[in-house]
């Protein structure tokens, strides 16, 4: 196909202004959203301002909580709700523990969370191993059974499970708080995904070396999937610590409140004690905030596992 490319290209008008070593193209040329081109300094300031504004928007509610924890509730309202603390009662933090038994609630939450995370890890790893490395009849059936549980979250099965726990006399107990969550389909799928990433050749090689299943699991499979397991632990911890619906109805005595349920009642009896409740909320959020700061990568990996490739 003989295209008369030269004349055609002569037709293509040269766009843009001619000559001049410093053509006045704006430094804020439309590079928005691209990490591709490094921009001039003028553009950067604009972005910092935008990011700053958005940060304020996101953090304002948190600021408000801190503010209200650090202010006497009545005095604060009386002063017209300013943006700075009013009549700070510095002992709210300790009072949350002494007057509201926050310590027991946090301790209970910790125990329940650790049990749930450990149990979920064990059950998920074992089941994931079965699906990834073992042959057995009726695989598909079991797979479907596990997928099916995604349709039966605790919200749907709530009242039936409460009755079950009640029948077993496990209301207001650690067992009652933990039993329904000792296994999770999410964990099984996530860890299975990790196991399937292990090259098949490795399994063959270890079989030739004489590794049995258990040794392979502990010496090869789990060490090789440490990142995914780490992510799972973080996400599982997050979910267990933040639970509300189940602890709310699996217990009816104040001594058995987990920290989230305790937030409902702390400081809510009198208006001038509201700041204790707010302080308690701050304390309740701290463990997870620390988790986010120190395990950000694992958390992100766990949350994006289903959503984004790679």
Partner 1 sequence: MTDLPVTEAEAEDLGPITAPLGSRLRTTGQRTKDAVLAYLFLLPALVVFTVFAYYPLYRLFWFATHRASRFRNRPSSYVGFGQIRDTLTSEDFRSGLIHSGTFMLYTVPLGIGLGVLLAMAAHRRLKGIKIFQTIFSSTVASSVAVASVIFFTLVNPEVGYFKDVPWLSLNKPGSAMFAVSLSSVWQNLGLTFIVVLAALQAVPDELNEAAMLDGFGAVRRFFRITVPLISPALLFLAVVLVIHALQAYAQIELLTGGGPGTSTETLLYKIADPKGIRSIDVRAALSIGLFVLTGVVAAVQYSLLSRRVHYGD
Partner 2 sequence: MSGVTFDQVTKRFGDVVAVDRLSLEVDDGEFMVLLGPSGCGKSTALRMIAGLEEISEGLLTIGDRVVNHIPPRDRDIAMVFQSYALYPHMTVEKNIESPLVANRSARVDGAERTARVQEAAATLGLTEYLARKPGELSGGQRQRVALARAIVRRPEVFLMDEPLSNLDAKLRTQTRLELVELHRRLGTTFVYVTHDQVEAMTMADRIAIINDGKLQQVGAPQAVYERPANLFVAGFIGSPPMNTVTGTVTTDAGGTFVVTDAGTVEVADPGDAVDGNAVVVGVRPEHMLIGDGTESTALRGVVENVELLGHERHLLCHVGDALMVIRQTNDAPPVQVAEKVSLVADPAHLHLFDPVTTERLN
Contact positions with partner 1 (CB under 8 A) in 20-59: 30-38, 44, 47-48, 50-51, 54-55, 58-59
Considering the complex, what minimum distance in angstroms separates the CB of residue 134 from partner 1? 4
Q: Collapse the DSSP code of 100 into the 3-class scheme (helix H, G, I; strand E, B; otherwise coil) and give the result.
A: coil
Considering the complex, state which of residue 14 and residue 134 has its C-beta at the smaller distance from partner 2. 14
Considering the complex, state which of residue 4 and residue 201 has its C-beta at the smaller distance from partner 2. 4
Residue 255 interacting partner from partner 2, partner 1, none (CB closer than 5 to 8 Å by kind) = none
| Binding residues for partner 2 (CB under 8 A) | 1, 3, 5-6, 8-10, 12, 14-16, 18-25, 29-30, 36-38
Q: DSSP character for 255? A: G
Size of the site for partner 1 (CB under 8 A): 111
Residue numbers 92-111 binding partner 1 by CB under 8 A: none
Instruction: Decide if 277 contacts 262 (C-beta within 8 A).
Output: no
* Helix axes of 274-294 and 41-69: crossing angle, nearest 10 degrees: 140
**Dihedral angle over CA of 98, 100, 103, 106, nearest 10:** -170
What CA–CA distance (Å, rounded) separates 264 from 70?
Answer: 19
Q: DSSP character for 286? A: H
Considering the complex, state which of residue 104 and residue 248 has its C-beta at the smaller distance from partner 1. 248
Residue 8 interacting partner from partner 2, partner 1, none (CB closer than 5 to 8 Å by kind) = partner 2
Helical residues (DSSP H) of the chain, grouped into ranges = 5-11, 41-69, 73-78, 92-98, 102-133, 139-148, 154-167, 174-178, 185-196, 200-209, 213-216, 222-224, 226-242, 245-250, 259-265, 274-294, 296-304
77 binds partner 1 (CB under 8 A): yes
Considering the complex, what minimum distance in angstroms separates the CB of residue 20 from partner 1? 22
80 binds partner 1 (CB under 8 A): no
Q: Which of 27, 42, 174, 245 binds partner 1 (CB under 8 A)?
A: 245
Residue numbers 146-205 binding partner 1 by CB under 8 A: 146, 148-153, 155-161, 163-164, 179-180, 182-183, 185, 188, 196, 198, 200, 203-204
What CA–CA distance (Å, rounded) separates 120 from 183?
Answer: 5
Tokens representing 173 are: 């107990």
Instruction: Decide if 225 contacts 194 (C-beta within 8 A).
Output: yes
64 binds partner 1 (CB under 8 A): yes
Tokens representing 106 are: 């946090």
Considering the complex, state which of residue 22 and residue 155 has its C-beta at the smaller distance from partner 2. 22
Considering the complex, state which of residue 2 and residue 176 has its C-beta at the smaller distance from partner 1. 176
Considering the complex, what minimum distance in angstroms separates the CB of residue 177 from partner 2? 47
Instruction: Decide if 71 contacts 275 (C-beta within 8 A).
Output: yes
Considering the complex, state which of residue 43 and residue 172 has its C-beta at the smaller distance from partner 1. 43
Q: Mark residues 270-309: x for contact with partner 1 by CB under 8 A, - for none.
A: -x--x--xx--x--xx--xx-xxx--x--xx--xx-xxxx
């Amino acid at each position: 196909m003989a295209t008369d490319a030269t004349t055609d290209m002569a037709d293509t008008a040269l766009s843009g202004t001619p000559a001049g070593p410093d053509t006045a193209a704006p430094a804020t040329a439309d590079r928005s959203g691209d990490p591709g081109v490094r921009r001039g300094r003028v553009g950067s300031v604009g972005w910092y301002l935008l990011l700053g504004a958005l940060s304020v928007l996101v953090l304002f509610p948190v600021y408000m909580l801190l503010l209200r924890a650090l202010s006497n509730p009545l005095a604060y309202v009386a002063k017209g709700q300013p943006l700075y603390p009013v009549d700070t009662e510095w002992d709210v933090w300790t009072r949350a523990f002494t007057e509201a038994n926050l310590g027991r609630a946090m301790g209970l939450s910790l125990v329940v969370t650790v049990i749930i995370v450990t149990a979920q890890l064990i059950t998920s790893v074992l089941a994931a191993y079965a699906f990834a490395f073992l042959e057995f009849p009726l695989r598909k059936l079991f797979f479907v059974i596990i997928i099916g549980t995604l349709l039966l979250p605790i919200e749907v099965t709530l009242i039936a499970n409460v009755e079950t726990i009640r029948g077993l006399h496990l209301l207001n107990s650690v067992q009652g708080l933990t039993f329904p969550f000792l296994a999770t389909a999410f964990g099984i799928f996530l860890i299975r995904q990790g196991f399937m990433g292990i090259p098949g050749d490795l399994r063959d090689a270890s079989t030739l070396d004489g590794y049995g299943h258990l040794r392979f699991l502990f010496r090869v499979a789990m060490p090789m999937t440490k990142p995914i397991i780490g992510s799972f632990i973080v996400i599982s911890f997050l979910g267990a610590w933040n639970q509300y619906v189940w602890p709310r109805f699996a217990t009816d005595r104040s001594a058995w409140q987990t920290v989230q349920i305790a937030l409902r009642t702390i400081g809510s009896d009198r208006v001038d004690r509201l700041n204790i409740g707010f302080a308690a909320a701050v304390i309740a959020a701290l463990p997870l905030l620390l988790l986010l700061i120190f395990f950000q990568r694992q958390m992100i990996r766990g949350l994006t596992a289903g959503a984004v490739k790679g």
